[in-house]
Amino acid sequence: MKAIPLSYVMRNLWVRRVTTILTAGGMALVVFVFATVLMMSEGINETMVATGQPDNVIILRKGAGAEINSAISRSQAGNLEALPGIATDSLGRRQVSREVAVLNNLPKRDSDDMANVTLRGTSDIGLAIRPQVRVVQGRMFRAGTSEIIVGRAVAKGFANMSLGHTVTMAGREWTVVGIFDAQRSGFDSEIWADTDQVMQAFRRSVYASIVFKLANIEAFNGIRKAIANDPQLQLDVKLEARFYADQSEGMTKFIKLLGLSLSVIFSIGAIVGAMITMFAAVASRIGEIGTLRALGFRREAVLLAFLGESLGLALVGGIVGLIAASLMQTVNISTLNYQTFAEMAFRFKFTWAVAAQTMAFSLLMGFLGGFIPAWRAGQLSIIECLRQA
C-alpha cells in the first residue's frame, strides 16, 4: 500500500496551528493530572518502603494493622528479647527496641490548622537499628528526660519545632534538642522521645511494637516459628520493610482510584475535543482527500494519515503535560496516613514507568478521538470528494 508521507501529516498540523495548540493543550491538562496521580502514588510508596529496613523485624499484637492499635505486654517483650537470632552491638547489647506510638494534634507552622503527628517512644538502640535516620542538628535525646528529636518534615511544617523550643503534649513540656533526617522515609514525619517517658506521660502500660535487628536474614523463619508455637505470644511478626510496604498499598490504591477516575472523566472532554478538531479537518479538506485518492492513495492510506494527525496532537499534548508534571518533583506535600491517622510528608516521584504509562494514556486519547474522523475520511469516494470540493 502506498503511504502518505509523514511530512504531509506534520504540515497539516502546522497549518492549523491554532486549533492544534488548543486541542493539544486540553490533552496536556488531562495528561498532567494523570501523571501527577501516578507520581503521587510512587512518592507515597517510596516514602513508606524507605521507612523499613530489610533486616529489621517488627512485632505487633495479632490483628493490629498499625502500631497505634497494637499492645504488647512487658512479659511478652521480655520473652521476645530472649529469642535467638537477634543481632548484638559491639558492647554485646541485643539490638531490640521497645517502642510506643501515640498521636498528638499539633498546630501547623504559619497557619491555624492542626494535624496529627506520631510521637514515637524509642531509644538509642531504636536509632542504631535504623541507619537511614541521622541527627543532623542538635543531639540525641537523653534517656529519662522530657527531651525530643523531630523529623525534618515536622520541623518544617509544625510550630514550635525548632531547636530549643518547647511543646506541650499530655500535659508535659517537651524540649526539642535535635532534628533528624530520615532520608525521605516516614520517620521524617515523626517525633521521637524516650519510651519510658512517653509511657508515663500518656499513661500507657503496654508497648505498641517491638523492633529488632536480625543477626542474619536466615534467622527470620526460625523466629517466626518460635513465636507462632508459643501460646503466650499471640503476635504478628513481619520484616519491617514488608510491614511498611503493606501500609502503603491501601493509600496508593485509594489515590490511584480517585485520581484515575478524575482523569478518565476529564479525558472524555479531551477525546471529544480531538474528535471535533479532526472532523473539522476532514470537512475542510474534502478536495484534498479527493486529490490524494486520484493520485493513487488507497482508503487505508488516507485513514492512517488522518489518524496520524490525531496521534500527533496527542503526542504534543502528552509531552507538554509530562514536562509540566515532572516539575512537581520539586514540591513536597503531606497527606493523612489512613493506617495511623497521622500526617505524612512525601514528594512526587517521576519514573520511567510513570512516563511510559502517561504517554500510552495520551496516545490512547488521540487514537479514540481520531479514529472515527479518520475512518470517515478514508470512506469518502473520489467522485463524492470532487462533487463537494
For 256-270, what is each residue's pLDDT tens digit?
Answer: 777 778 778 878 887
State residue 124's pLDDT score: 92
d(CA 383, CA 353): 48
Query: Same domain, yes or no, for 194 and 300?
Result: no
Is residue 2 predicted with pLDDT exceeding 60? no
C-alpha cell read off for 287: 478536495
Residue 359 lies in domain: 6-49+247-388
Number of independent structural domains in the chain = 2
Q: Structure pTM?
A: 0.80
Contacts of 302 (CB under 8 A, 6+ apart): 4, 289, 292, 293, 374, 377, 378, 380
Query: Same domain, yes or no, for 200 and 252?
Result: no
d(CA 126, CA 238): 17
CB neighbourhood size of 122 (10 A): 26
Q: Is residue 265 part of a domain?
A: yes
Rg for the chain, CA atoms, rounded: 30
Query: Same domain, yes or no, for 362 and 258?
Result: yes
For residues 350 and 43, is the Cβ–Cβ distance under 8 A?
no
Percent with pLDDT over 90 in the chain: 32
Rounded to the nearest 10 degrees, the angle between the axes of helix 17-51 and helix 299-326 is 50
Q: Which residue, of 191, 206, 221, is where some domain finishes? A: 206
Question: pLDDT band for position 167 (50/70/90)?
Answer: very high
C-alpha 152, offset from chain centre: 19
Contacts of 91 (CB under 8 A, 6+ apart): none
Q: What residue type is 64 in one-letter code?
A: A
Question: pLDDT band for position 284 (50/70/90)?
Answer: low
Q: What residue type is 232 in one-letter code?
A: Q
Query: Same domain, yes or no, for 200 and 260?
Result: no
Q: End-to-end CA distance of the chain, in Å?
A: 25
State residue 272's pLDDT score: 82
C-alpha cell read off for 332: 513536597
For residues 235 and 60, is the Cβ–Cβ distance under 8 A?
yes
Q: Is residue 216 part of a domain?
A: no
For residues 255 and 37, is the Cβ–Cβ distance under 8 A?
yes
Task: With CA atoms as reference, report the closest residue to 311 among 6, 39, 3.
Answer: 6
